[in-house]
Structure 1
Amino acid sequence: MSGNVTMYSTTWCGYCRRLKSQMEREGIAYTEVNIEQDPASAKFVEEANGGNQTVPTLLISGDSGKSTTLTNPSVAQVKQALAA
């Protein structure tokens, strides 16, 4: 599975930990960005989620070059976005 996945998260987010372990189990590589340590990424997450800092928020660039933003997705949704 190719494409780029950036996961915006926090250290205390249980949903983030769950999704990370599921993606690792599925062999999906990702780059993690802690929004508490990076104000620019916190702003991106707010813009993607109607002003809320909801995590995990993923930015996925699929094979076609199209970018998709997903908020608290399932691993199946991540795989689908990567295939698009």
Structure 2
Amino acid sequence: MMRAWILPMLLVLSGSAAATGLIFRGSPGTAAALLLAFLALAGVNSPLIFPRSIGALEAQHRSAADGRPVVFWRPGCKYCIRLRIRLGHSYRQLHWVNIWRDPAAAAAVRAANGGNETVPTVVVAGQPHTNPDPEWVREQLSPFNGRSSRT
């Protein structure tokens, strides 16, 4: 769990240090803007923008029951962030699994990607798709639009 917060914490600390230096040099406005930018980057790279992760086995069971795709992701991954943001509210219809919290999920991703933990890996109908286009993922959700999600 701690590993997921390393990058956001480093961004907050770096932004704080840079802002402090700017304040001492007499640029409080620039310091505030810089700190806000670092805080925004920390927020985007934190696990907070993703839905609550479930375990890989639970996601596979839910996907088998409702047919919705499973997304394997990790905090700080720019491609995962891109997928999450470009999906908009549709992200709630997916089953999200953080590979840093679940060793079985990391193993599943390695098995699908030749030993690499390449994310996002989206599993649709049992078939893994590595870093798919967000529009393609949204198309996979079209049968589920209008229904409430269970995640």
**TM (normalized to structure 2)?**
0.45
**Which residue in 1 is equivalent to 2:41?**
none
Amino acid at match of 1:76: E
Contact 2:71/2:121 (CA < 8 Å) preserved in 1?
Answer: yes
Amino acid at match of 1:22: R
Q: Which structure dedicates a bigger proportion of its chain to helix?
A: 2
**Which residue in 1 is equivalent to 2:134?**
75
Q: Per chain length, whose mean CA-contact separation is higher, i.e. which structure has more relative contact order (CA < 8 Å, sep 6+)?
A: 1
Alignment of 1:31-46 (within 5 A): 31-46=95-110
Tell me, yes or no, if structure 1 residue 52 matches structure 2 residue 111: no
**Which residue in 2 is equivalent to 1:14?**
78
Amino acid at match of 2:84: K
CA distance, structure 1, for counterparts of residue 94 and residue 139 of structure 2: 15
CA distance, structure 2, for counterparts of residue 81 and residue 68 of structure 1: 12
**TM (normalized to structure 1)?**
0.76
Deviation at 1:77, TM superposition (A): 2.6
Contact 1:3/1:82 (CA < 8 Å) preserved in 2?
Answer: no
CA RMSD of aligned residues (A): 2.0
SS of the residue corresponding to residue 132 of structure 2 reads: coil
Gaps of 5+ in 2: 1-65, 143-151
Deviation at 1:82, TM superposition (A): 5.2
- Give the number of equivalent residue pairs: 76
SS of the residue corresponding to residue 127 of structure 2 reads: strand
Contact 1:46/1:54 (CA < 8 Å) preserved in 2?
Answer: yes
Amino acid at match of 2:132: P
Deviation at 1:21, TM superposition (A): 1.5
